[in-house]
């Protein structure tokens, strides 16, 4: 399950392994990626899945260097492990999580 978070609760949510989908409501690739992230969140255990609207949380986008959407950032205990910009398929997303 993917939970939308914002600047006020971001830091407290970054415990353990977390995948954050930085998106924008107007972004077509974000809309296409969203169901892929949803599906992977149902299949991969041990990872918290979140999404952040960059238009409503520009401070987070700035803090983590999100220059384009969609951007997926994999965190472990609040530390960036890897970053992926643009659409990726279900298998590639699962591999991205497993390999980091």
What is the helix (H) or strand (E) element at residue 23, kind and residue range? strand 17-23
Catalytic residue chosen out of the listed positions 13, 27, 38, 44: 27
**Which residues does residue 34 pair with via DSSP β-bridges, in sequence order?**
none
Known catalytic membership, residue 27: yes
Known catalytic membership, residue 18: no
For the record, the structure tokens of 49 come out as 């899945």
For the record, the structure tokens of 50 come out as 């979140």
- For residue 4, the SS3 value is strand
Catalytic residue chosen out of the listed positions 14, 19, 20, 30: 30
Instruction: List, by residue number, the catalytic residues.
Output: 27, 30
């Amino acid at each position: 399950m993917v939970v939308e978070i914002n600047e006020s609760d971001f830091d407290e949510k970054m415990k353990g392994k977390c995948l954050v989908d930085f998106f924008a409501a107007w972004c077509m690739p974000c809309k296409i990626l969203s169901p892929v992230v949803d599906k992977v969140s149902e299949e991969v255990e041990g990872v918290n899945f979140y999404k952040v609207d960059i238009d409503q949380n520009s401070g987070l986008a700035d803090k983590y260097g999100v220059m384009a959407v969609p951007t997926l950032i994999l965190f472990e205990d609040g530390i960036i492990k890897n970053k992926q910009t643009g659409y990726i398929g279900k298998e590639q997303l699962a591999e991205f999580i497993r390999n980091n």
